A and B are shown apart, each in its own frame.
Chain A
């Protein structure tokens, strides 16, 4: 099963490598990884998605919790939550395809953020699934480059992840 784990991490040198190292050391996989500072400069927030059965996920969260730099963590998939991935796609377009692409971008509520003689850059925000469907809808041959942020997530309602 796919899980989204969000981690509050001490903003210390080496903290990130401990988290990433743990995954390779223990043979867990990381599908996406997103790290950035938070409103508290001493903390950064790391969100990763991983795939595994319940037992593996339990071990992952326990092992993460053991890292001294990990302040708190939550498995967002355990409750109701929001997840967003941001994608920039560079697409080659001949004149005859431009309308078609614009329509598709609109359907997916994306934006064309840069335009060149034969190039569009599209920005899209959503769940990983939505971004995958967009790529499928565009047709692979025209996609030149994809840059994705990896999933960031937050739980709905009153529940908060804080130090």
Chain B
């Protein structure tokens, strides 16, 4: 944790993540308005940079403009990281973000070129949220909190909180894929309903683990609570989106309510996915596990003296030997 915090870089990364979220909204509006093919050519739109912005063209071309803006922001971020970021893995993640945004642009082109084959649309929808999570991660990694000394807690439970959090990330990602597959008419709704149960279960398990193991680790518990609220809301939004889809089936014009409910459920899904990623990152940053320390063979990285009760303790900064204060050789 020797990298110095750079406020301007962090602010820029946060801005990129927010812009990406707005891009997800713009993209979801394209799908819900069935406007994906309103503009038949790419990279130009009707052979021009500014076609008449009416009807579906507004959504499709607007999405492309916002995507171009975010693409440029990402280039800027990757380059800035290369120049000013001392941590190699963060510089690399910047390049991964750049590769993702380029791949996403290519997928966007393929959806238009091949008239929205479901596999390409689903890949475009999924990579969009992976990219969003990368921008969120970059915002966190360039932040002050990540780069400062933070109190560590000890995890003696099983499965580890990190494992639970990563499982939640994976389950939510699959949930996104099955949602996109339903949205793009590749699957029925059943996998998505099963997935919702799995995501909910993992988030309840992670929440319980945090409550029992780290009653005093406020940041962890706050991320857990936030995730809980997001998932709860997402379940309700999902049910509403589903109802409105079924109710409007066969209508000549999709009602605005259906458009907005499906858009909101889609982008809320991105927040849930990002929430699981944030939990995994926070857990990675503050939770230490006995086995980690054993692997490292003794002298610890983690700082802390046991002050809480229960198996996990919130600790103050003091260099101490491993394992709840017990010295090890």
Chain B binds chain A: no
